[in-house]
Chains A and B, each alone.
Chain A
Amino acid sequence: MRELDAKTITENVAQMCKEAAYYLPEDVYQALKKGRETEKSPAGQNVLDQIIKNAEIAKAEDRPYCQDTGMTIVFLELGQDLHIVGGDLEQAVNDGIAKGYTEGYLRKSVVSEPLFNRVNTQNNTPGVIYTKIVPGDKLKITVEPKGFGSENKGGVKMLVPADGVEGVKKAVMDIILHASMNPCPPTVIGVGIGGTMDKACLYSKVALTRSVDSHNPMPEYAKLEDELLDLINQTGIGPQLGGSTTCLGVNIEWGPTHIAGLPVAVTICCHACRHKTRTL
């Protein structure tokens, strides 16, 4: 059986946290440049210029491009024939988060309890870790640090089958219009359709690990992605100060659901759509 040292996991997670905070994904950078070319509002053009310049400074100087370096979501796909040695898996991941956020001068934004005391844990742990057991002997790690200016504006709607495609569009647009300029547009939108309430939310998070110019493999969903992108870019919200570049991409992920249900979840991500993947 193949063995993987927990320290290797820690080291890789630490590096991925730093890289995610410093280097805006190339697909997002290109989408911002494309948006700048077509943006109609002068104020919006100015905002896009600043966001593009910001990404370039961050990359050149190894600095976080946003001060909200997020709560760290980590997706693990653990091969069932891989044996982790020298420590436990979740601890290794959390150690990596603590190391990355401390060494990388990233902001520690996690409180240990949400309502009564809200004490900062000082090292951004724990991460939100999802582990899936898969065939094989590898460990695939995806780190998705999620900022909360945009996270606070997401939502979930439990539709019924009769609501259909129009119902899904309306549910997504209600959330987008309510969020307005607050989640730092231009945004990337993750939509999860199906499953249970919680699973739909998870699909919407997984959707954000895809590049902004990608499409769902099923043509009907790919078409819906384009239609939603078009609708969101008609809202006038624009790059924060009004305009035509509100959204850079809509990614939909879906899964089986109950005969009575049609859950729809929307995760809004600001342009700092961070995700890094490595396979060990």
Chain B
Amino acid sequence: MAFIEAVMQYGFLQKALLTSIMVGIICGVVGCFIILRGMALMGDAISHAVLPGVAISYMFGINFFFGAVFSGVLTAIAIGFVTQNSRIKHDTSIGIMFTAAFAGGIIIITMLKSSTDLYHILFGNVLAVRASDMWITLGIGIVILAAVYLFYKELLVTSFDETMGAAYGLPVRLIHYFLMTLLTMGTVASLQTVGIVLVVAMLITPAAAAYLLTDRLWVMIFLASAIGVLSSVIGLYFSFTYNLASGATIVMAATAIFVLVFLFSPKHGWLWKMLKVRKKKASLV
């Protein structure tokens, strides 16, 4: 109750709440495509890879959005280039490139001598969200939702059966990088709420829980967003009430939801599968 009163009372908390809700939606939507394409590791990589872009943006005093998208997409291209032009496997290539980008980012930020900023970028500080950040998040959210709505067909085909998409003439590589751009934008939107290190959890945990609840993609997208929002709100409550890092509490909330779904999901849950096995065994006695 005190939390609700506080939300009514404090503008900073309202901004924090609205921003986290938007981040929950954005990450839920993008995350569905990330996990269905088997790119969870790629999500982790790109989220870390925005760090040098953010650092350089600070250095030049421009909005960190542009720098982040630039370094995120550049890293995605570098990963693709190494995979396609050598015997190095995809996950190895991801590991090389994102750690390099991340390390570069740490060096730049350290040279700027602003370790508090680094801490906030890495772990998020949702209570310090400014109005301008909230508007950026809203803008990113609108762009991402519109893109997914408009290109739903293309995203579905290339996630499900990329070769068929290529066979009928879809630019599959372009679509891949388009999704990487959406992923980077989603990461930027999440910077202040959960921070770079934990963004990947917001992308994959709600989407994974939704994946265990339905057999239809569009339902999965809605469920993932709903779970993302729920995690954000619960996480923010604990962050505010017990003075904990918001990124950590939001991710723990998402994980708790995932565990519940994993155990009790009606069709794909562990408990249901166990019961089915037991019933089957009993019927054979």
User: Do chains A and B stick together as partners?
Assistant: no
By a beta-carbon cutoff of 8 Å, the part of chain A in contact with chain B is none
By a beta-carbon cutoff of 8 Å, the part of chain B in contact with chain A is none
